[in-house]
């Protein structure tokens, strides 16, 4: 095992997959000469050349459409969108074409492409550059939506996404790029798409998160362990397909649940998780399912306001304790 950053895990996986399969190529804004806004593609233009690392104009609809066409013809494009906020400029290509071509053509052609894109707040980038709008795409049949939280998962899930024959939206939270974790040295672990992970066993309550909030969930569990509260952490990892079985199994075990998410509460990912728990584990619940999410506002630029609007370790701890109090276990 090597300990590397999330950013390095993505870069090394892209490099390895490009060596493994000559049909894999990269396309996006400033990914070549500038080496990407977040330096994920650093060094790859020099190593693979312009044929396989394609800089594009600032025209998301155009280069996403180009990638779709290339995928239909047998290549495996990996698109980099500078931010998920800019995916709105290509939403017709993603939702009406990438997601639907396989079904509309009766399975005669697939669209094996990956769209990598960062998102999330906390970086003082303003309301239009700090959104978590993965719900837009998780809603759409025909797409797969992945959201790894650790460098190890980033590597194994990106590898799986590139090798998959369906279009995959690959979410990267900006706050995770410099986080460190273990990644296998053999470089050939491929994650199972659609499988959540129980990253910490517990007995008192289930805490569910994805991407940055899966990391926060681990921090919450560690802090609450100091108060003899046993938290089971479920990292969703995949938003579509969603591993409902693992969620339900965990809640049946603990009898209560809190969901932490970086998007807005209303109609959010957490609402779908809560519905899943109600349908699959209602008779096992000792208290209502609680959700912790971002404030229902366009994210402020001012740092104190931005911090206050985002879910945090403290806000999740409060929700966990309130849920346990409702169960009948009195905690501070």
pLDDT in tens, 13-30: 999 999 999 999 999 999
CATH label of the domain that carries residue 262? 3.40.50.920
Q: Are residues 151 and 216 in the same domain?
A: no
pLDDT in tens, 140-162: 999 999 999 999 999 999 999 99
CA 124/CA 235 separation, integer angstroms? 26
Q: What band does 1 get if pLDDT is binned at 50, 70 and 90?
A: confident
CA 264/CA 310 separation, integer angstroms? 10
Q: What is the DSSP string of 78-102?
A: EEE-S-GGGGGGGHIIIIIIITTHH
Q: Where are the alpha helices (DSSP H) in the chain?
A: 6-20, 44-48, 60-72, 91, 101-104, 134-138, 151-163, 212-225, 244-254, 269-281, 303-309, 313-327
Q: Are residues 163 and 231 in the same domain?
A: no
| pLDDT at residue 124 tops 90 | yes
Provide the domain limits for residue 106. 2-183
CA 115/CA 107 separation, integer angstroms? 21
Of 161, 183, 205, which residue constitutes the final position of a domain? 183
| pLDDT at residue 174 tops 80 | yes
Q: Are residues 290 and 160 in the same domain?
A: no
Q: Which two tokens mark 16?
A: 């390895």
Q: Are residues 62 and 155 in the same domain?
A: yes
Q: Are residues 173 and 211 in the same domain?
A: no
CA 159/CA 198 separation, integer angstroms? 21
Of 183, 206, 228, which residue constitutes the final position of a domain? 183
Residue 210 forms part of a structural domain: yes
Using DSSP's 3-state secondary structure scheme, residue 290 falls into strand
pLDDT of residue 332: 67
Using DSSP's 3-state secondary structure scheme, residue 238 falls into strand
| pLDDT at residue 208 tops 70 | yes
Rounded to 5 degrees, φ, ψ at 197 are -130, 130
Partners of 25 in the beta sheet?
Answer: 77
CA 129/CA 132 separation, integer angstroms? 9
Residue 139 forms part of a structural domain: yes
Q: Which two tokens mark 114?
A: 């990956």
Backbone CA torsion sign across 308, 314, 318, 320:
positive
Residue 134 forms part of a structural domain: yes
Q: Are residues 158 and 212 in the same domain?
A: no
pLDDT of residue 331: 73
CA 260/CA 209 separation, integer angstroms? 5
Tell me which residues are annotated as active site: 60, 129
Q: Are residues 67 and 171 in the same domain?
A: yes
Residue 57 forms part of a structural domain: yes
Residue 188 forms part of a structural domain: no
CA 112/CA 161 separation, integer angstroms? 9
Q: Percentage of the chain with pLDDT > 70? A: 99
| The total number of structural domains that make up the chain | 2
Q: Are residues 94 and 219 in the same domain?
A: no
Q: What band does 236 get if pLDDT is binned at 50, 70 and 90?
A: very high
Q: Are residues 122 and 202 in the same domain?
A: no
CATH label of the domain that carries residue 15? 3.40.50.970
Residue 191 forms part of a structural domain: no
């Amino acid at each position: 095992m090597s300990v590397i950053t999330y950013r390095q895990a993505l870069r090394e996986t892209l490099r390895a997959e490009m060596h493994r399969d000559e049909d894999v190529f990269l396309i996006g804004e400033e990914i070549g000469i500038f080496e990407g806004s977040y330096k994920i593609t650093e060094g790859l233009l020099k190593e693979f050349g312009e044929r396989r690392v394609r800089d594009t104009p600032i025209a998301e609809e155009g280069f996403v459409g180009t990638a779709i066409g290339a995928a239909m013809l047998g290549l495996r494009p990996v698109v980099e969108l500078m931010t998920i906020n800019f995916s709105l400029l290509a939403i017709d290509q993603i939702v009406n074409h990438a997601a639907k071509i396989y079904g509309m053509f009766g399975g005669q052609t697939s669209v094996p492409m990956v769209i990598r894109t960062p998102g999330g707040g906390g970086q003082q980038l303003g309301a239009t550059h700090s959104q978590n709008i993965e719900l837009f795409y998780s809603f759409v049949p025909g797409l797969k939506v992945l959201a790894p939280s650790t460098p190890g998962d980033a590597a194994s899930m990106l590898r799986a996404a590139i090798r998959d024959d369906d279009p995959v939206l690959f979410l990267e939270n900006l706050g995770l790029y410099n986080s460190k974790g273990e990644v296998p040295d053999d470089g050939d672990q491929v994650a199972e798409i659609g499988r959540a992970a129980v990253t910490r066993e517990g007995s008192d309550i289930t805490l569910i998160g994805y991407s940055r909030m899966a990391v926060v969930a681990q921090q919450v569990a560690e802090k609450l362990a100091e108060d003899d509260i046993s938290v089971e952490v479920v990292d969703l990892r995949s938003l579509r397909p969603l591993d409902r079985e693992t969620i339900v199994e965990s809640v049946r075990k603990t009898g209560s649940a809190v969901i932490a998410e970086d998007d807005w509460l209303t109609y959010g990912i957490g609402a779908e998780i809560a519905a899943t728990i109600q349908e699959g584990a209602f008779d096992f619940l000792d208290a209502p399912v609680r959700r912790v999410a971002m404030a229902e506002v366009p994210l402020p630029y001012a740092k104190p306001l931005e911090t206050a609007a985002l879910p945090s370790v403290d806000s999740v701890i409060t929700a966990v304790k309130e849920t346990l109090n409702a169960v009948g276990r009195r905690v501070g």
